[in-house]
Amino acid sequence: MFDGMKNIGDLMGIMKNARQFQDRLQALQEEMARKTVTADAGAGAVSATVNGRMELVKLTIDKTRVDPADTEMLEDLIVSAVQLAQAKAAGMMKDEMARAAADMGLPPGMLP
C-alpha cells in the first residue's frame, strides 16, 4: 500500500533539480546577453558586434576601405560581417551551455 509513497521523495528531488536547472539556464541566458563578440568582413572594412542573444548591437564601417558608390559590395560586407558575428556568438553560447551542463552533472548534449 505504501510502496507508491516512497517515490514521492524521488519526485520531490527531481522537481528541485529541475527548478535549479531552470534557474541556472535563465542566469546563463542573461549572462550571455551581456557578452558580445565581434567579427569583420572585407579585411576590416565592416565590423559587426552581436550579443549572446544573436542581436546586432554595433556595426562599424571603415570609410577608408569601402567605395561609397559600390553599395552592393557594402551590403554584401555587412551581411557577411553580421553572419560571422552571429556564428561566433552561437559558438560561444554552445560552449557555455556545454560547460553549464557539465557543471550540473548532465551528459553532453542535454542542453539546447
Per-residue pLDDT of 37-71, as tens digits, reads 999 999 999 999 999 999 999 999 999 999 989 99
User: Residue 26: inside a domain, yes or no?
Assistant: yes
Instruction: Of 76, 85, 95, 75, give the one whose Cα is nearest residue 38.
Output: 85
User: Residue 78: inside a domain, yes or no?
Assistant: yes
3-state secondary structure 48-93: EEEECCCCEEEEEECCCCCCCCCHHHHHHHHHHHHHHHHHHHHHHH
pTM of the shown model: 0.75
User: Residue 108: inside a domain, yes or no?
Assistant: no
Q: What is the pLDDT of residue 102?
A: 80
Which structural domain, as residue segments, surrounds residue 77?
3-103
| pLDDT tens sequence across 5-24 | 555 556 666 677 778 778 88
User: Residue 83: inside a domain, yes or no?
Assistant: yes
Cα-to-chain-centroid distance, residue 91: 7
Question: 91 versus 16: which is more confidently predicted?
Answer: 91
User: Residue 58: inside a domain, yes or no?
Assistant: yes
User: Residue 110: inside a domain, yes or no?
Assistant: no
Tally of domains in the chain: 1
Task: Give the whole-angstrom CA distance, residue 71 versus residue 85.
Answer: 21
User: Residue 111: inside a domain, yes or no?
Assistant: no
Write the CATH number for 89.
3.30.1310.10
